[in-house]
Structure 1
């Protein structure tokens, strides 16, 4: 009886391998030692950052992007023959992205103290989602994001409760995975992935901002800083809080944010103590040292170095070779006079608050951290002992006026912000 053809081929293959010349031993060794996935070529164009050079959010972003790109490619390239195979990784990537999102949001909220505890480490989408919803986090945008996510949680939980059905043909019970389903339309999936991607991005970014906002302590158990800013915008000026306008605003605010009387009062207390929010209500907040007159005087001197220009004109390009010695000497004279005036009129505390206002306007840090920023600048002053250099650093800022205006307004120095207009 003849041997099966497959056995004959196996024997032939063995014979051929055994007869390889010795010169090929080096090539076989190279194939063993070169990593097939993580070898880096000389051209680093397509090198991707992973591990210690990667980022936690690369996982979240990557899985939702992979789901979308794959679904889009199937339709764009008319890959009808690959519908049945690619639909599984498309849905799995989407499910895993949602799982990573829920865990990211939960872990961040636990770390910043907004959530008492997380969920057991497993693949239970519904359990993670229910814990976040039931916590009723004190942030309108987070609650709304979770509400928009609910249909996707319900859909993915229904077909794959534990994260196994989309990965394996047989589930843990030995039954066929997805046995309750027969068809899935990739065009529908792609359209839904577009919505899901937007929800994921919004929730991710809102979580990051929510955690950052809490560094300034301007929040309550029921209202985040963003909520308090929205509430402030709904209130009449502080001087009108005994009028009917305040009573009407109070009712609208309590309804929108689901606040009882105690929570509403707590929100008002934080708002009245906050530089920026108090300013939004028409009330000034003083600085410890820098008076408005000194800040205005500093800008008057700064203007000698940075004259106003026509905003409709393009900035002039100056060729260094065209600058004359006379122009250089004149610039040096003006700069020396400006520095002399600022050095004589501004104290170190004035300069510290001036710098803090500038960076409040430029970098948009939380206004409630203004006093801490001033304190850090003063520590730097004490260490460097070079006030003139600090003044020169500010005087050289071409955007000093614009940033001081913004910073003064955020710090509750409304009169100063007004005076700086048009200078």
Structure 2
């Protein structure tokens, strides 16, 4: 029998998507309860307390249930993080567990075991969640007037101030949003594979600052440094060796110990030749794009110039492609694509450069590499993004040489401080 109450109908704007027609996970469910609580809270605050004694129960119930759902969603996500790290977390039944104190305790213990970067956010959140767990541990206090053993709820509390409640709940929501963002970012980070049993990527970055230049590693002093590092980070010699291997093979870290890691395929000579060909044949007027100068041109003249430029650019483009064909290969084009899109993606991780290169190599088997090369070189911002990626991957001398040869300093607004930290240091929550 069809349900005549919970059904779809016109007008279509009044139909809410649920089940497989929506996004029925813990986090998505929690947002609805949060919004309901906030709408009611805003009504009370804007109306100076109208119906406050009636509305406080659904407000607090919705708040509490939202937090329970958010924490359950967070537990689901750290389970994925644990899977990536190949760690087995203790069993915890999310479906039958409603004690928010127990749920929070499980999350705190296991999140801190997975990564030390959880600690700061957990400390920020802890007091408010413990307040909720204290007044309504299992979701019954604001749901019913009396407990299962016939005791009136909230007798000791007496009053609840909605101004304070509003402030504390907003802070908690913001911090829980940061927590979910941190977990998602950590999942992305650990998928890169730059970690050991006890060291995260961020800790390996930190460890690198304690290493001397690679040329000094044969000194007796380096042995003492390694012994100190194993004690400081509480790791074995074997784990330190694995961490050092990761550092030596990492674009963002190897340069810190005096090792220049080459690009996946392209060498300096090929890159300099490519830049010259790009400026000569693919975008000879690219500097005008960066000048941002407005010019007054008659419409007929503008149309005429457009047609002339179209044929001129097409002819130059064809000549450029003819010159490049001698170097054309899957690896050549894949490396160019990887360097360009690394910058377009805001240089999140240098590991993405190699994974992207490998992906483009696979795709090249099914694509015309000449078309792929033509497409990437036709982008007017190609050179800017390309040079940024060279800086990010610490091909500093080469990037500086390109800037000097083509006088790009003022065109791309490169500044010395930006070059070595390369513009896009992200994720304050990540601890870098």
Q: TM-score range by the shorter chain?
A: 0.7 to 0.9
Q: Does 1:151 align with 2:127?
A: yes
What is the CA–CA distance in structure 1 between the aligned matches of 2:66 and 2:220, rounded to whole Å? 50
1:87 aligns to 2:56 (yes or no): yes
**Match 1:109 to one of 66, 74, 78:** 78
CA-based RMSD of the aligned residues comes to 3.6
Shift of 1:139: 2.8
For the residues of structure 1 that align with 2:120 and 2:240, how far apart are their CA atoms?
A: 20
- Structure 1 residues 86 and 234: alpha-carbon distance in aligned structure 2, compared to 1, 3 A threshold: farther
Tell me what 1:370 maps to: 353
Q: Secondary structure at the residue paired with 1:308?
A: helix
Which of 276, 284, 287 does residue 308 from structure 1 map onto?
287
Alignment of 1:15-34 (within 5 A): none
How far the C-alpha of 1:199 sits from its partner, in A, is: 0.7
Is the aligned partner of 1:67 residue 2:42? no
Selected match of 2:312 from 327, 330, 337:
330
Name the SS for the 1:211 alignment partner.
helix
Residue pair 2:342, 2:352 contacting (<8 A) in 1 also: no
2:167 aligned residue (191, 200, 208)? 191
1:123 aligns with 2:98: yes
Q: CA deviation at 1:127?
A: 1.5
Unaligned runs of 5+ in 1: 1-31
Task: Tell me the number of residue pairs that the alignment of Structure 1 and Structure 2 aligns.
Answer: 386
Matching residue of 1:41 = 10
User: SS state of the match for residue 103, structure 1?
Assistant: helix
Segments of structure 2 that go 5 or more residues without pairing to the other structure are: 407-432
Q: Which residue of 1 aligns with 2:234?
A: 260
Residue 225 of structure 1: how far off its partner (Å)? 2.8
Residue number in structure 2 paired with 1:177:
153
1:361-413 per-residue CA deviation (whole Å, 9 max, x = no partner) reads 212464224333322222222223x2210111111122222222233344443
**Is this contact kept in 1: 2:254–2:260, CA < 8 A?**
yes
Query: 61, 65, 74: which is aligned to 1:96?
Result: 65
> Following the alignment from structure 1 to structure 2, what is the Cα–Cα distance between the partners of residues 265 and 188?
52
Residue among 289, 312, 332 paired with 1:350: 332
State the SS of the aligned residue for 2:101. helix
1:260 is displaced (CA, Å) by 2.1
1:346/1:35 Cα in 2 relative to 1: closer, same or farther (>3 Å)? same
- Matched with 2:341 is 359
- The alpha-carbon deviation at position 102 of structure 1 amounts to 1.8
**Mapped pair 1:209 → 2:209:** no
Counterpart-to-counterpart distance in 1, 2:330 and 2:361: 8
Mean CA deviation greater in 318-327 or 112-121: 318-327
Contact 1:278 1:412 in 2 (8 A): no
TM-aligned CA distance change 1:58 to 1:420, over 3 Å = farther
Shift in alpha-carbon separation, 1:324–1:368, aligned structure 2, 3 A: closer
Matched residue, 1:394: 376
Partner of 2:415: none
| Contact 2:140/2:147, CA 8 A, preserved across alignment | yes
Show the counterpart of 1:134: 109
Work out the CA distance in 1 between the residues paired with 2:199 and 2:37: 35
**Contact 2:275–2:383 (Cα < 8 Å) also in 1:** yes
The alpha-carbon deviation at position 222 of structure 1 amounts to 3.5
Q: Which of residues 304, 318, 323 in structure 2 aligns to 1:341?
A: 323
